[in-house]
Structure 1
Amino acid sequence: MLNKIYDWIDERLDITPIWRDIADHEVPEHVNPAHHFSAFVYCFGGLTFFVVVIQILSGMFLAMYYVPDIKNAWESVYYLQYEVAFGQIVRGMHHWGASIVIVMMFLHTLRVFFQGAYKKPRELNWIVGVCIFAVMLGLGLTGYLLPWDMKALFATKVTLNIVESVPLIGPWLKTLLAGDPYITGAQTLARFFAIHVFFLPAALLLLIGIHFILIRRQGISGPL
């Protein structure tokens, strides 16, 4: 049955050459842990992507129950964690994954930097990677407020004060994020939710796509 479905799709879209090209792509010997023990450092990028996928899937599940308003945000998180089947597990995956993905990206960035993989002809991919890092930090920052508890509220106020200290554009950036130059309330929660769920994920998927295309075209960098 599955073969018939695949043949029907392949006859119309000719997908076999696409996945064959991906599956048959040769991996350089220096990234094979069976041949070189140091090759494990090349796994950081793939592990980062794996955690990102977990974050996206778990975030989609959380968004089904989360209510982004100051009256119901905390209650919806409580209901998700203690009333929904497997809700505590999924929220735990999303919570800890937010920290793990930063650690993995940091290790991946260190590998690229110390092995000189940011040099010609991979400068553009390095810039894209730094942008991905910034987007992931933004996702962590905006997601921290969403449970709408006291810790998240005061931590976000500190963050907004730091943003306000940026020369020239600081007050404008704070108003853009908070929705109001003085109050952290309903507008701030709504904006952080929109940024966390729509704007930053869209930017992340675009940058990851560019990142993978550049890696495929330029190949995996060589050893130190």
Structure 2
Amino acid sequence: MLQKVYDWVDERLDITPLWRDVADHEVPEHVNPAHHFSAFVYCFGGLTFFITVIQILSGMFLAMYYAPDIVNAWESVYYLQNQVAFGVIVRGMHHWGASLVIVMMFLHTLRVFFQGAYKKPRELNWVVGVLIFGVMLGLGFTGYLLPWDMKAVFATKVGIQIAETIPVIGPIAKTFLSSGEIIGAQTLTRFFAIHVFFLPAALLALMGAHFIMIRKQGISGPL
């Protein structure tokens, strides 16, 4: 049945050459763990992408139940964990995945740095990777407030105070993040919008550019 559907679409859009161009790409020998034990360090990038996909899918599930206002935010999270089927599992995946994706990305960044994979001709890809790291940190920071419990509010307050110490743009960053003098309803709404719309859009665009450049330049050589 699936083959018939594929054949029907392929007959009209000729998608097989595009798929073959992706699937038939040769992987260098030095990233094959069967030949080189050190090849496992090349898995950090793929693991980061895999966890990111889990974060996106679990986040979509959580967004269907979350209420981004100070009256109902905590109650919606409580309902999700205690009343929705598998809700506690999905939220746990999203919660721990938020930390794990940072760890994997940090290890991937270390691998690229110490193996010199940021050098010519991959300088631009290194810059894009650093921007992705920044977006991931932003996702972690904005998502921390969303459960709207005391721990989240006070941790966000500390984070905004740190942002305020940035030279020149500190006061602007504080006003932008808090949307006022105190952390309140507008802050929660703004963090929700940044976490769900703006940063994911930036992340997808940067990841697309990252993968295109990897495809164009190939995987970097061994140390």
What SS does the aligned partner of 2:117 have? coil
Aligned to 1:152: 152
Distance 1:218 1:212 in 2: 10
Deviations along 1:80-119, whole A, 9 cap, x unmatched?
0111000000000000000000000000000000000000
Aligned to 2:193: 194
Deviations along 1:43-89, whole A, 9 cap, x unmatched?
00000000000000000000000000000000000000111000000
Aligned to 1:171: 171
Q: Is residue 2:75 matched to residue 1:50? A: no
Distance 1:4 1:105 in 2: 40
Distance 2:160 2:14 in 1: 51
Normalising by structure 1, report the TM-score: 0.99
Aligned to 2:142: 142
Aligned to 1:11: 11
Aligned to 2:182: 183
Distance 1:41 1:14 in 2: 37
Deviations along 1:112-146, whole A, 9 cap, x unmatched?
00000000000000000000000000000000000
What SS does the aligned partner of 1:70 have? coil
Distance 1:37 1:19 in 2: 30
The total of aligned residue pairs comes to 223
Query: What does 1:52-131 correspond to in 2, within 5 Å?
Result: 52-131=52-131
Distance 1:197 1:189 in 2: 12
The amino acid across from 1:53 in the alignment is V
How many angstroms does 1:8 deviate by? 1.2
The amino acid across from 1:145 in the alignment is L
How many angstroms does 1:7 deviate by? 1.1
Flag as ranges the 4+ runs of structure 1 deviating above 3 A.
none
Aligned to 1:206: 205
Distance 1:77 1:168 in 2: 37
Aligned to 2:34: 34
Report sequence identity in percent: 83
Distance 2:119 2:9 in 1: 42
Normalising by structure 2, report the TM-score: 0.99
The amino acid across from 1:132 in the alignment is I
Distance 1:126 1:137 in 2: 17
Which deviates further from its counterpart, 7-16 or 45-54? 7-16
Distance 2:206 2:148 in 1: 29
5+ long unaligned stretches in structure 2: none
The amino acid across from 1:211 in the alignment is H
The amino acid across from 1:27 in the alignment is V
Distance 1:110 1:147 in 2: 32
The amino acid across from 1:212 in the alignment is F
